[in-house]
A and B are shown apart, each in its own frame.
Chain A
Amino acid sequence: MAALVLGLASPASPEPLITESLNLFGTPGLLQMPSAEMQEDAQITASVTRIGDQMRNTLTFQIAPRVTGSFRYSRFTGYYADGDDLFDRSFDLKFQLLDEGQYRPAVAVGLQDFLGTGIYSGEYIVATKSVLPNLRVSAGLGWGGLAKYGGLGFSDAVRDAYVPGEEGGDLNAGSWFKGDAAVFGGISWQASDRLTLKAEYSTAGYDDEAGNTFIEPESAWNFGVDYRVRDNVHVQAAYLRGSEMAVQLSFSANPRKPAAGAANENAPLPVGGRPARRSDPDAWSQDWAADSTSAPAIRRVLSKAMAKEGVTLESLAVSGTRAEVRYRNNRYGAEPQAIGRTARIMTRALPASVETFVLVPVSNGVPRSKVTLKRSDLEALEQAPSSAILARARVEDAAGPAPANLVAADGQYPRFTWSVSPSVTFSAFDPDEPVRGQLGVQFAAQYDISPGLVLSGAIVQKLAGNIEDSDQTSNSVLQHVRSDAALYAAEGETAISHLTLAHYGRPGPDLYSRLTAGLLEPMFAGVSGEVLWKPVDSRLAFGAEVNWVKQRDYDQQFSFLDYEVVTGHASAYYAFGNGFHGTLDVGRYLAGDWGATLAIDREFANGWRIGAYVTKTDVTAEEFGEGSYDKGIRITVPLSYFNGKPTRAASSTVLRSLSRDGGAKLSVNGRLYETVREAHEPDLEASWGRFWR
């Protein structure tokens, strides 16, 4: 009884304290000041904030339940003494160290603008407690920009000053939690479902080049109103320091909650039944297998039925008791769904004596794995949890010779495909024009000569755009391997974006290979070779790539500039298994610089991917130019998230500084790892819930 009472009385929840309301930096918090709150896990929020002469565009991602990360691009109108504007990029991180308890507040520690000596640099420790169901109180200690006013005077240590225009970008840990600190605090009251009122005692402030503060400090108090317009859209207005107004608009999305609502698609065919063997033994005879017309007829039927499901039958090997189907999945983001639908078609199309189904997902003519299912398991487990059929499925390496009776489906090899599609290119963070773009139309064609041998090309005809208008001509002291993008855009009215002959193969068990020659990408041509080691059940993979390339002329036809280089990397890939994925590349980059790239991504089974990467090479910060080294944020959004239809289409964006020449990589099509891993056990398990879908 006592235990029961105690159990009921304990409010301790393992959940972090979360809010939908942002502060004016676009991170969960009060107004100018942070709170200990997090966003809902995986939430991604974009916000635009206008405060007097400052404009802040922030992207905030809940990296893990207790870790928030933000990237911000800000404009300070009239920052410089000569009246010019300052453009500034900044990164924040916040960790919730303690969950809220019955008496204990949630406690978080944060770093604001922590790369380099940023204009917004500041650190804090803050506690937030729900004192009433709708009322939260926060109090904290701030350093740096968060201790501009109200300093306690405990420390006279000097922080490194912000110097506008220097390369920046390095961790400046020496200044963290240094200098004077100030106590701040505030309350937020959720007055209704939509309305949150805030008041805070602020200690934050920021100066322009001449040392004048951006907001007149008439008062230490800020007041704000946050209004939820509809799900995932908020507007916020605030009155700061008795002298300035601020407004903010924010949008959020959660990769786990599809914008289109629940995905909709055609129903699969149900598993077909077989007549009982005892009452109808003739139906189970294998005589049909001796008839030479059987296999072609089965191939035709399977091919037609699979095509309706967006799956292409490449080849079939069928005997009295076993059928091996090699297929391409053109439709489903989850490979298990292609496997599940194909297997169900097989139950309806194959004679009763065929008990073993082998499904081989193929890409670029190369088998990526081999999934073996027993037909009787499919019959028995159609109405069971998907984990039941997963336990009975066998996933193996598909290396080795193909079965002797494997026959290609009609029209598969050789095969010609072509497409016309719009082509959109963006370039961000040019100080004169934050977003530049180009619109064109792309003609692409591919000729699959035999399994694994692919001739492929694409031409982009420019229609409109302003990338070439940039007068930021490259001042790079390195070979201009990437920084002449404006020249390529200006002269490449009709550009051959690639024209290659590629061979894909399986040199041995667990090994995959690619050899590509020709115009590899818009700026480079040459030969590219890659080998990948990836056991079918492994979370770990290693790759090696070597390229000999010549730089292409700006018109992107068949002529070259006077630069060639041998570039390449040794790579390690690891899927941590909790949705996080890491990649490490070590090697030589396009400008001949040596170094490494580390990337961490959070991946969702439905195709969302959000990550960050950083590249450090032996190029010095001065040689590299603005930003000191290459780093960025990359986001992949599956189209099915928005339209609810099954499709493999996705859109990928990299947010980073204007392309510089240090740490630049070749961009060749058909890299092995991403396509190979999709058909391997860890990835299959992650989306296996769609097997029966």
Chain B
Amino acid sequence: MMKQMTLTRAFLALPLALTLALAGCGNDPNRGAGNTLLKDITQVLRKTVSKGDNKGGAQTDAQVAQLVPLALKRVKGSALLALLNDGKQVAVLGEQENRAGYMTYTTTERQTLTLRGGIITSSRGLGGDLMSSSVDETARLVRARSAGQGQRVMRFLTGDWQEVGLSFACRVSRDQAETIPTATRGNVQTQRMIEICRSTSGGTTFTNIYWVSGGGTIWQSRQWLGNDNGYIAVSLLRP
């Protein structure tokens, strides 16, 4: 009996999630009108990563807003809404594993993001993946909503499969206070935190933005995933 439990628990615990990968869901746009909140979230997210307007066959914000509640019903536990590829790809990710301070979320297409307290430390299945990261120094500052400096290391594979760690010197600063809409907790008062990182070997710089509530929860963010994937926007649908 005990053994059966162990085996099934391991595999049934794989979460179900939903990727909204199709543009042509072509429903009546008015049908989702009630859910302006999610539409707002998507719009805000899109602004943080999009370079131009929403072109290139992406879902409309209204379409996303319709599908998110559906996805939330299917996902057990925590869930994220993520915008990739300059905002062209929208995905809902559901909790897959929560262990030792790291939470791994997955799409149904088997793409994953692993977060440590809301800060992305690795990705898989995206191509050019972030293998792992050491982010504790700046993560502490961001979640405490205080300014300061710290190091972070992000590890990638080269084209010849060698793992290289990029070191960044980062400066975390407080931006403005902002009230943002959330999918499951209504409006939340947040502090916008900015993390500017510069590669210690020169060249690469990036700027991450986090919306952090008083308890240290990162409700929304724009984070750099590496040269191949650029910025990703993430909204915490359900903590």
Judge if A652 is at the interface, Cβ distance under 8 Å: no
Whether B161 contacts A334 by the Cβ 8 Å rule is: yes
**Complex interface bits, B131-148 against A, C-beta within 8 A gives 1, otherwise 0:** 111000000000000000
B106-141 CB mask vs A (1 if < 8 Å, else 0) is: 100111101010000110111111011100000000
CA distance A605 to B157 in the complex (A): 12
**Contact between chains at A273 and B131 (CB < 8 Å):** no
Interface set of A (CB-CB < 8 Å, partner B) = 254-258, 261-273, 282-283, 285, 287-288, 291, 293-294, 297-298, 301, 305, 334, 348-349, 351-352, 379-380, 382-387, 604-606, 644, 687-690, 692-693
Enumerate chain B residues within 8 angstroms of A271, measured Cβ to Cβ. 97, 99
Is there a chain A Cβ closer than 8 Å to B206's Cβ? no
Select one of A255, A262, A282, A287 contacting B127, CB under 8 A: A262
Tell me the interface secondary structure of chain A in the complex.
loop
Closest A residue to B164 by beta carbon equals A689
Chain B: residues with Cβ within 8 Å of the partner, total of 43
Cross-chain contact A605 with B160 (CB below 8 angstroms): yes
Q: Does A385 contact B127, Cβ atoms closer than 8 Å?
A: no
A382, B98: Cα distance in complex, Å? 13
Q: Can you sample 15 A-B contacts with CB below 8 Å?
A: A256-B160, A262-B228, A266-B125, A269-B96, A272-B99, A273-B97, A282-B2, A297-B7, A301-B7, A349-B10, A385-B132, A386-B131, A386-B163, A689-B162, A692-B131
Of the candidates A267, A268, A334, A351, the one whose C-beta lies within 8 Å of that of B3 is: A351
- Identity of the chain A residue whose Cβ is nearest the Cβ of B155 in the assembled complex: A385
Using CB atoms, name the residue of chain A closest to B124: A267
List the B side residues contacting A298 at CB < 8 Å.
7
Beta-carbon nearest neighbor of B112 in chain A = A267
Min CB distance B92 to A, Å, is 15
Let me know if B201 is at the binding interface, CB within 8 A. no
Closest 7 CB pairs of A and B: A262-B128, A267-B124, A689-B163, A264-B127, A267-B125, A266-B110, A288-B3
Question: Could you tell me which residues of chain B, from 1 to 28, have a CB within 8 Å of some CB in chain A?
Answer: 2-4, 6-7, 10-11, 14
Closest to B103 in A: A270
Min C-beta distance of A529 to chain B, whole Å: 35
Which of A266, A352, A380, A385 has a CB less than 8 Å from the CB of B163? A385
Residue of B nearest to A687 (CB): B161
Closest B residue to A285 using CB positions: B2
- Report whether B228 and A261 are in contact in the complex, using a CB–CB cutoff of 8 Å: yes
Judged by a CB distance under 8 angstroms, whether B165 is at the interface is yes
* Residues A690 and B161 in contact, CB atoms below 8 Å apart: yes
8 additional A-B pairs beyond A348-B10, A351-B6, A605-B161, beta carbons within 8 Å, are: A264-B126, A285-B2, A288-B2, A352-B6, A379-B100, A385-B165, A689-B157, A693-B129
Q: Cα distance A344–B155 when bound, in Å?
A: 20
B176 at the interface (CB under 8 A from A): no
Minimum distance in angstroms from A488 CB to a CB of chain B: 39
- Neighbour of B124 across the interface among A254, A268, A291, CB < 8 A: A268
**Shortest Cβ distance from A692 into B: residue:** B131
Q: Within the assembled complex, what's the spacing in Å between the Cα atoms of A644 and B157? A: 14
The answer to whether residues A263 and B127 also contact, given A270-B114, A605-B162, A606-B159 and a CB cut-off of 8 A, is: yes
CA distance A387 to B122 in the complex (A): 16
For residue B158, CB closer than 8 A to chain A, the reply is yes
Residues of A within 8 A of B3 (CB): 288, 291, 293-294, 297, 351
A271-B99, A383-B102 known; A689-B112 Cβ under 8 A: no
Contacts of B163 in A (CB 8 A): 385-387, 688-689
Residues of A within 8 A of B48 (CB): none
Assess whether B104 is interfacial by the CB under 8 Å rule.
yes
B110 contact from A267, A297, A606, A689, Cβ within 8 A: A267
Q: By the criterion CB–CB under 8 Å, are B161 and A383 in contact?
A: no
CA of A101 to CA of B129 in the docked complex: distance in angstroms? 38
